[in-house]
């Protein structure tokens, strides 16, 4: 929320199930979701525009209980890790295809998709990134991320 507010928004946390109605009634004038979520939840019925801010990266994490993991043999652990790696690779390969399909669908439904200059957003959110990195002991990690092109 701090980052969005720094970028000029007035972030309003809301239960996901209330977003459609809030948009429909004018309680919200925008929301933050990827194209596939907009498509799946029919948000195109209550919103006309998409601004491609590209400010989020939604990583997926493979999580396994340490206690349960230790019950597996080395061979079973390898099978699980190989399957996780395969699933990761398939997901990464399909993500841009699914996104393109969702955008095409949304355009057909009348939404206007706008690629925007995000320079000012990045500049305004930089201080929030620095503060969060300091709080989390991740200053060096943030530096590495910023240096990666």
With contact defined as beta carbons under 8 Å apart, do 91 and 60 qualify?
yes
Please report, in tens digits, the pLDDT of each residue of the chain (149 residues total): 888 888 888 999 999 999 999 999 999 999 988 999 999 999 999 999 999 988 777 777 889 999 999 999 999 999 999 999 999 999 999 999 999 999 999 999 999 999 999 999 888 888 899 999 999 999 999 999 889 86
With contact defined as beta carbons under 8 Å apart, do 133 and 139 qualify?
yes
pLDDT of the residue at 107: 97
**Which pair of tokens denotes residue 149?**
């092109």
- The structure's pTM equals 0.76
The label of the residue with tokens 């948000």 reads 43
pLDDT of the residue at 54: 82
With contact defined as beta carbons under 8 Å apart, do 31 and 45 qualify?
no
81-95 burial: b if 16+ Cβ within 10 Å, else e: eeeeeeeeeeeeeee
Question: Which are the contacts of 105, defined by CB distance < 8 A and separation ≥ 6?
Answer: 39
H helix or E strand, kind and range, residue 60 = none
Tell me the residue length of the chain: 149
- The mean predicted confidence, pLDDT, of the chain is 92
Radius of gyration of the chain (CA): 19
Q: How many angstroms separate the CA atoms of 40 and 56, rounded? A: 19
């Amino acid at each position: 929320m701090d980052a969005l507010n720094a970028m000029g928004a007035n972030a309003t946390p809301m239960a996901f199930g209330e977003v459609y109605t809030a948009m429909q009634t004018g309680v919200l004038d925008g929301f933050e979701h990827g194209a596939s979520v907009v498509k799946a939840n029919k948000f195109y019925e209550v919103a006309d525009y998409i601004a491609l801010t590209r400010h989020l990266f939604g990583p997926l994490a493979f999580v396994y209980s340490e206690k349960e993991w230790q019950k597996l043999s080395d061979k079973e652990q390898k099978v699980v890790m190989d399957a996780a790696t395969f699933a990761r690779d398939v997901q990464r390969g399909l993500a841009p295809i699914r996104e393109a399909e969702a955008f095409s669908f949304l355009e057909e439904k009348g939404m206007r998709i706008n690629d925007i200059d995000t320079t000012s957003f990045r500049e305004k959110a930089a201080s929030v990134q620095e503060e969060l990195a300091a709080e989390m002991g991740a200053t060096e990690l943030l530096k590495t991320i910023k240096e990666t092109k």
